Amino acid sequence: MTFSIRFAEVKDVHLLAVLDAEMTEFMRQIAPEGFGETLKSPVEIGVNEEFFAKALEDNETTILVAEQDKEVVGFVMGIVENHTDDLLKAPYLTIQYLGVSERFRGAGIGKALLESIEEWASQKGFSTLELLVWAGNERAKALFHRMEYLPLEMRMAKRLIKKSTKKPKQTNFT
């Protein structure tokens, strides 16, 4: 399979929005039970188009697309982070989105997109890239592991759903 990688352009906004909608459907399917309520809402392509149009105008955001036969089949979006935290020294690049159209997964496009944004970031003087990946996204986790991304922390959550109609016991939080 032959594909090329280039910087996204305004002409790509609709295709990015459509690809993001496809990614949202995938994320809806792998969302942990009881989580991902916002993923259940229908994707509004127009809202996605506005989001990507603004991202392309933002100097702190970089979007690369993978293209095959003039069709955008994947993209990666990185955002410059200018704050230091306990683990990372600023500035660094956060991979906000990495997506490949379902029919092109497994062809090396995700790896090529990551390699390309790593190269771009290195040329810009960044020493660190970071990203988040859902715990149930085994394919993405395997890719990141192969590309030598290391786990730095683990995000955890607990749903606090009432299991009965009993009143909670009296607690004094003072």
Domain spans in the chain, listed from the N-terminal domain onward: 4-146
For residue 100, how many other CB atoms are within 10 A of its CB? 26
CATH number of 4-146: 3.40.630.30
By percentage, how much of the chain surpasses pLDDT 90?
Answer: 86
- Name the stretches of the chain with pLDDT < 70: 162-169, 171, 173-174
Q: Is the full-model pTM beyond 0.75?
A: yes
pLDDT value, residue 74:
97
- CA–CA separation, 38 vs 173, rounded Å? 32
The whole-number pLDDT of residue 1 equals 72
CA separation, residue 30 to residues 24, 39, 123 (Å): 10, 11, 35
Collapsed DSSP state (helix, strand, coil) of residue 42? coil
CA 82 – CA 26 distance, rounded (Å): 31
